[in-house]
Amino acid sequence: MRRERREGTPVGLAELERRAARGRDDDGRDRNALIVCDRLVRIFTADGVEVQALQGLDLLVERGELTAIVGASGSGKSTLLNILAGLDTPSAGAATVAGFDLVTMDAAARLRYRREVVGFVWQQAARNLLPYLTAAQNVALPMRLGGGRIPRRRRAERVRELLDLLGVGHCHDRVPERMSGGERQRAAIAVALANAPALILADEPTGELDSRAAEEVFTALRTVNERLGTTVLIVTHDASVASAVRRTVAIRDGRTSSEVLRRAALDEHGDEVVVAQEYVTVDRAGRLQLPAGFAERLSIRDRARVALQPDHITVHRDDSRDA
């Protein structure tokens, strides 16, 4: 029996100890992180109106992590993913992936980055696979364009290995219209993996699938993470996906607002449970966002009263206005 048990929020000691043990550079950045976003800003201008999609977002993702990004529409999730994919550039701040500076790299470096370092899986199957190529041909295409990253003599074997790993070896000679939605998405993951990237980005990969196919796709992403050691970052609205990863990061108003970390444990009956601990993220300026549900329940709006205790901080509703 396996179920999730949610624990209360602000205690961050375990996470602080975990990050300290990993080691940080002098500027506070994690030396081992594959993804480092520091005060990331992205401003769009339309009809003379500026919209800030990202408003100083900070994010660290370690090598080998399987992480979900969640948030309401317009929170900045897809903007972040496009920047990490090399499809867009920040307006300000810093972002690096596997040592590539996503702010300053030139066109040649950006092309190399998109071919070798990152793989992308879109929600829409039509954007992932060329309709006139078989699954095997779709997977082989990035290898042909990858400048010899995968030796030619290894390509056919690697195509078959990837399709088999993702449970779609039987689709080797099928074009996309002869596959189910779940099979197309798993073939798309194989395409994203073709040149052995360090990072896989998936934007709502289960959004157009039924529950069974969605579970198969998520299992495929977990397999990629566990068997190949590939870092996987999933943007999702699917609660079942978000709750099945060890770390879920919530974005609100263009900033990371909270994280949920999960670990397996045994309860008093000997049953396996997933213990979920929620953390509020704090930026370098000391800013944090209270979870929306907490603020609403306590009617915290413009300001809150805080008090420093020996080992924690308390946050209270501003009662002075009720006096």
Centroid of chain to Cα 139: 23
The amino acid occupying position 288 is L
Task: Give pLDDT, residue 323.
Answer: 55
Both ends of the chain: CA-CA distance in Å? Answer: 51
Task: Give pLDDT, residue 22.
Answer: 45
**Cβ-contact 66, 245 below 8 angstroms:** yes
Q: Is 48 exposed, middle or buried (0-12, 13-18, 19+ CB in 10 A)?
A: exposed
Report the distance separating Cα 65 and Cα 224, nearest Å.
Answer: 11
Q: Which residue has the tokens 């060329």?
A: 130
* pLDDT per residue of the chain (323 residues) written in tens, 0 to 9: 345 554 443 333 344 334 434 444 444 445 579 999 999 999 988 877 888 899 889 999 999 999 999 988 888 999 999 999 999 999 999 999 998 999 999 999 999 899 889 999 998 877 889 999 999 999 999 998 876 678 888 899 999 999 999 999 999 999 999 999 999 999 999 999 999 999 999 999 988 888 899 999 999 999 999 999 999 999 988 777 777 888 999 998 899 888 888 887 777 777 777 777 888 877 777 777 777 778 788 778 778 888 888 888 888 887 776 65
Structure tokens, 280: 């509020």
Report the distance separating Cα 199 and Cα 225, nearest Å.
Answer: 10
Kind of pairing between the strands at 2-7 and 118-121: unpaired
CATH superfamily of 2-117+197-289: P-loop containing nucleotide triphosphate hydrolases (3.40.50.300)
**Cβ-contact 53, 71 below 8 angstroms:** no
Structure tokens, 192: 């994203």
DSSP letter at 103 equals T
Task: Give pLDDT, residue 279.
Answer: 82
Task: Give pLDDT, residue 20.
Answer: 38
The alpha helices in the chain, defined as continuous H runs, are: 13-22, 77-84, 107-116, 125-128, 135-145, 152-165, 181-193, 211-228, 239-242, 292-297
Domain with CATH 3.40.50.300 in the chain: 2-117+197-289
- Model pTM? 0.83
Task: Give pLDDT, residue 92.
Answer: 93
